[in-house]
Structure 1
Amino acid sequence: MTVLILTTEEDVTADMVVVHLNAGAVPVVRLDPADLTEGAALSGEYVHGAFRGHLSSGGRLVSLDGLRSVWVRRPGVPAARAARPSAWLTEESAQALYGMLRATGARWMNDPDAAHRARHKPWQLRLAQSCGLPVPATLITTFPQAAREFAERYPDLVVKPVSGAHPQDPPRAVPTSRVAPDADFSAVAYGPTLLQRRVAKRADIRLTAVGERLLAARMPVAADADPDEVDVRFARAASPWEPVEVPPRLAESVRAYLRGAQLAYGAFDFVEDADGTWWFLECNQSGQFGFVEVDTGQPIARTIAEWLSRPAVPRQARFRGADSAVC
């Protein structure tokens, strides 16, 4: 049976997993939904109470009945590269592709509906709290007065986007920034603003969850680090990432988060304070892991390949309401 990877053509992260799938002689097909109608095709037939479907991509034809898993890695917008792209064609293509894939017994990493919901940072923060993960005091508001009062209670704050990357082409990462002590919060009225108590961190933590397996890495903050460099993506690296054990109670909370979010994969970002507490910042449902694996040697790509290689869920079970995110 075949593993289907939905991603762009140039995706080094997916390449790392494909190497392990090939080594295990597991058939794999890559499809970028952006190629639909131009370079990729699909067909589904519903006749006499039965469904038969096929996908064609890169010269490969695969039966949807023959899919064991679908990895929604970094798919493009459906039909974005069509000869005459349009919002209507995108919606039609998305409905056709994902609707047919849902009719199979394939296991999802991650289920598209669960992944879409999991992108919402306000929802993430509340789920993390309910699962027992420490969350820094946070305010999301368009009330300038609420922002001022929050800053009085927590004088040392950072500001970050609610949604993540700015949707330009190509997308631009918006860094988390420290809020100046004399900040004027009047502009908060013009758009939702996320303010969060700055954690004086001694290390950054990246925890990659694949099913039940948790692989954590730690990067200490340099002793002479600028306290205004709060975003690990843009700060000077003091040292490589190193493997670290996950505290048992925190591991329980992370697994509870994954169950609550119905995710099979999640890249969690934490910061560690001087007391050793790991503070939850966010969980990216399709986050990168290559940079961690290169530094630490942790077998993240192999673990994902093993998860994707497991048997599919029988179709009858899917239509009895089986949860595609259960490991």
Structure 2
Amino acid sequence: MSDSRPVLVLTNPYDVTADLVLRLLAEREVPVVRLDPGADLHTDASLTATYGAGGQWGTLRTPHRELDTSRVRSVWVRRPSPYEGPRGLGGQDRRFAAEQTLWGAGGVLASLPGAHYVNHPWRNRGAEFKPAQLSAAQRCGLRVPATVITNDPGEARTFVARQPGGVVYKPVRNTPYRVDGRPQSVWVREVRGAGITGAVSVCPHMFQIKVDKVFDARVTAVGDRLFGVRIDSPDLDWRRRQDAMTCTPIDVPEPIAHAALRYLSELDLLFGAFDFAVTAAGDWYFLECNPNGQWAWQPAETTADIAHALADQLEKGPDT
């Protein structure tokens, strides 16, 4: 008998990456409900959760579906919109509605009984902290570049002075930033001691030795399956001009694969997008692991393999 339990996909309506996986689930006749909770629950969707002596049950209603939340097979936390509150409200009323939706609906959707999460939203949030990533990577046997995170300009200058091969700066989190109303990105860039000013004291900054790399590598992990690509770019930060880079599939060395899977297990993740800098000697330096990273920009065969691996995870549901 086929499994009629649906997969719940939490993402925004413009997420074309999610569409790749949803098409595969449709071909497999797996029922899917798509929801953008930060927006839909303020417009045409409703969510009810009930807790009592009989356990937990509830209903999610959208314009197209009615879902028994106790029967959700899997939840894919992709790229839902931020919880910002209804646009018709202003000031503290909108902030209040946004917070109530986050802690209310967000809490319900993160606590569906028996559901298989890819990844669980609380695991995603915990794994986004760069200091936690570096600490976990070291424990799991990955090589980590020497790094200092500090809001002390003197400590930063001392660190830079001790690194003859150079130092790069990177933000501890990619935060939206605008100049004259136009969105800006803060890219990884090389820094010298003379460029470190008292402004460092405003917040923690991340300084890391510049790895003498010959290429970058992205390793996308889905469960126990790893998909590697080599990235050749003229830029220090390949994300800056993706049209100038080339990507080719690459085998992941066994020690790196073993450590990456241990990392996922330690942080309780089923998906992770690992970035490495690889030297001429073949040393793989861990840079970060985005627990909800983009992956559809990779070569077509790699993108297709990742989409199938994600569809497999969502279709199988929780382990019995």
TM-score, normalised to structure 2's length? 0.89
Partner of 2:147: 138
Distance 2:280 2:230 in 1: 14
Q: Cα offset for 1:279?
A: 0.8
Partner of 1:94: 102
Partner of 2:171: 161
Query: Kindly tell me: are residues 166 and 197 of structure 1, through their superposed partners in 2, closer, same or farther at Cα, counting changes over 3 Å?
Result: same
Please say which of residues 100-109 and 174-183 is displaced more in the overlay.
174-183
Partner of 2:186: 174
Report if the CA contact (8 A) 1:6-1:70 is conserved.
Answer: yes
Report if the CA contact (8 A) 2:275-2:286 is conserved.
Answer: yes
Show the 5 A alignment for 1:178-189.
Answer: 178-180=190-192, 182-189=194-201
Query: Kindly tell me: are residues 164 and 78 of structure 1, through their superposed partners in 2, closer, same or farther at Cα, counting changes over 3 Å?
Result: closer
Q: Cα offset for 1:296?
A: 4.2
Partner of 2:34: 30
Please say which of residues 50-59 and 232-241 is displaced more in the overlay.
232-241
Matched, 1:67 2:72: yes
Distance 1:239 1:230 in 2: 11
Partner of 1:317: none
* Matched residue type, 1:189: S
TM-score, normalised to structure 1's length? 0.87
Residue of 302, 306, 310 corresponding to 1:304: 310
Identity value in percent:
38
Matched, 1:192 2:204: yes
Distance 2:83 2:317 in 1: 27
Q: CA RMSD in A?
A: 2.1
> Structure 2 stretches of 5 or more lacking a match?
none
Show the 5 A alignment for 1:112-261.
Answer: 112-155=121-164, 156-166=166-176, 172-180=184-192, 182-221=194-233, 225=234, 229-235=235-241, 240-261=246-267
Distance 2:27 2:66 in 1: 21
Q: Cα offset for 1:174?
A: 1.6
Partner of 1:323: none
Q: How many residues align?
A: 308
Matched, 1:53 2:58: yes
Q: Cα offset for 1:9?
A: 0.4
Partner of 1:321: none
Local SS of the residue matching 1:104: coil
Partner of 1:106: 115
Residue of 3, 6, 10 corresponding to 1:6: 10
Please say which of residues 37-46 and 120-129 is displaced more in the overlay.
37-46
Q: Cα offset for 1:260?
A: 1.1
Report if the CA contact (8 A) 1:141-1:193 is conserved.
Answer: yes
Local SS of the residue matching 1:292: coil
* Matched residue type, 1:92: Q
* Matched residue type, 2:305: P
Local SS of the residue matching 1:124: helix
* Matched residue type, 1:201: K
Distance 1:28 1:63 in 2: 13
Q: Cα offset for 1:297?
A: 5.3
Report if the CA contact (8 A) 2:220-2:271 is conserved.
Answer: yes
Q: Cα offset for 1:48?
A: 3.8
* Matched residue type, 2:8: L
* Matched residue type, 2:24: H
Distance 1:163 1:238 in 2: 24
Distance 1:258 1:55 in 2: 31
> Structure 1 stretches of 5 or more lacking a match?
315-327
Please say which of residues 234-243 and 186-195 is displaced more in the overlay.
234-243
Report if the CA contact (8 A) 1:36-1:81 is conserved.
Answer: no
Local SS of the residue matching 1:290: coil
Query: Kindly tell me: are residues 244 and 69 of structure 1, through their superposed partners in 2, closer, same or farther at Cα, counting changes over 3 Å?
Result: same
Report if the CA contact (8 A) 2:156-2:196 is conserved.
Answer: no
